[in-house]
Amino acid sequence: METLRITGGRRLRGAVNVAGGKNSSLAIIAAAALAADVSTLENVPHCRDVTTLVEILEALGARIAFVPGRLTIDARGLTNHAAPYDLCRSMRASFYTAGVLLGRMGRAQVPLPGGCSIGARPVDFHLRGFAALGAKVVTEHGFVKAAARRLRGGLFYVPRSSFGTTTNMMLAASMAKGTTVLQNAAREPEIVDTAVFLNLMGARIRGAGTDTITIEGTDELHGSTYTIVPDRNEGGTYLLAGAATGGDVLVEGMIPEHVTALLTKLEEAGLEVVPGTDGVRVRATGEIRALDVDTAPYPGFATDLHPQMAAMLTLARGTSRIRETVFESRFAYTDELRRMGADVRVEGETVHVNGPSRLSGAPVEAPDIRGGAAVVIAALAAEGETEISKVENLDRGYEGLEGKLTLLGARVVRDGSAGIREAG
Ligand code: EPU
């Protein structure tokens, strides 16, 4: 078992480069699997969820080479329609193979996906979407089986503006016969990134980034070359770590417009925010003020930054409130923060944080990707040493975490065997 040992109390200062987007990469790698030939993707982060998706697509017949930053995928041999159970059950994005296989060969057998324990996370919206494209869909023995002689375009209202459903529908509908209209579509930058890549492959998608996306299906998509958008969640994590330690952090390459809701809240908390063409810088100038935050689909405050924001707010003066509206149980991190001396309480869908707390190092665990990041932030701000277990959850979403933190002046040591471990 690997652990991270963090000796807290050092202000983070300096610059780090933002990685390519994890969630964008997962959707775009899946899109590349629709092609009749080879795609090259740049700026792909080397994190466990990406390598798991690579293994899944290889099991389906794709040939993939992944060197730091660059992934080449040759989808010519992708002819297997049954996705492997063990790999898929560890990760939510494995379910994109359903849209890919259905679009590519008209049939898919895909296990119900796993992923972070942050809510029930069913796939009912995805299944309704496939049915709206004319697929016959059944779920039995832990697998979804979907088939259609040829998908046909249709109108679909995306419930709760679901990110994954919007992605899966863009994948499948790109190869349907006729036009698909998605209403109440997700508007995340990663949706736009995926649509731009699919269009480079020969798809005809309009409206990505708005709540109505129109997809004209086509018979064949070809491979293309593309650079993945920067990871706003990774970048936001380093900005919040800098703020929590009273530091001054520049995240190079981060796109300020992708994190407007976060930057607005950081300013409201009294931090100095400098958005620029080279990235985003956040500097602590004194006391941090308490905040009221509601998570929401983009462009609202990202649920993927909620736990890290809560960790920072343990250092703010007053009572903060974070209402989680996207996932019903994204709160496991609060137990870990309490072990470190934070005054954090969950009531329904709301987290109440009373601060400032004097955090002290303790043995804790990373309960999920972003909850793990919250624990890391608290450890960086705490007095003494924190030992974090279940590091594999952090490795699912963060590339080179301890290297980047060390660059910013943190004391972080990884104990245990080297390399990225199996997804949790
Ligand atoms: N939902 C359903 N049924 C469905 C689909 C979604 O009830 O068929 C519910 C979910 O349970 C949730 C809400 O609808 O309560 C929204 O879920 P959404 O589909 O938008 O999320 P997702 O596609 O499962 C992606 C990211 C998450 C991120 C969310 C929201 C990936 C692989 N995952 O999940 O990222 O939090 O969108 O932005 O892209 C992370 O990176 O740590 C992470 C969890």
Does the beta carbon of 116 lie inside 6 Å of ligand 1? yes
Look at residue 49 and give its three-state secondary structure. Answer: helix
Domain range 3-19+230-415, CATH architecture = Alpha-beta prism (3.65)
* Cα 241 to middle of ligand 1, angstroms: 24
Q: Fold match between 3-19+230-415 and 22-227?
A: yes
Token reading at 72: 């080449």
Domain range 22-227, CATH architecture = Alpha-beta prism (3.65)
What is the C-alpha to C-alpha distance for residues 371 and 47, in angstroms, rounded to an integer?
Answer: 16
The residues annotated as belonging to the active site are 116
Task: Return the domain boundaries, the chain.
Answer: 3-19+230-415, 22-227
HSE on the CB side for 411, CA within 13 Å?
14
229 contact partners, CB below 8 Å, separation of at least 6: 20, 21, 24, 189, 190, 192, 193, 255, 258
What is the C-alpha to C-alpha distance for residues 376 and 308, in angstroms, rounded to an integer?
Answer: 9
* Cα 162 to middle of ligand 1, angstroms: 6
Each residue's pLDDT, cut to its tens digit, for the chain (424 residues) gives 899 999 999 999 999 999 999 999 999 999 999 999 999 999 999 999 999 999 999 999 999 999 989 999 999 999 999 999 999 988 999 999 999 999 999 999 999 998 777 777 899 999 999 999 999 999 999 999 999 999 999 999 999 999 999 999 999 999 999 999 999 999 999 999 999 999 999 999 999 999 999 999 999 999 999 999 999 999 999 999 999 999 999 999 999 999 999 999 999 999 999 998 999 999 999 999 999 999 999 999 999 999 999 999 999 999 999 999 999 999 999 999 999 999 999 999 999 999 999 999 999 999 999 999 999 999 999 999 999 999 999 999 999 999 999 999 999 999 986 544 433 3
Determine the residue type at 15: A
What is the C-alpha to C-alpha distance for residues 82 and 15, in angstroms, rounded to an integer?
Answer: 44
Cα angle 380, 297, 138 (rounded to 5 degrees) comes to 110
* Cα 191 to middle of ligand 1, angstroms: 13
Atom of ligand 1 nearest to the CA of 124: 8
30 contact partners, CB below 8 Å, separation of at least 6: 53, 57, 93, 96, 97, 99, 100, 167, 171
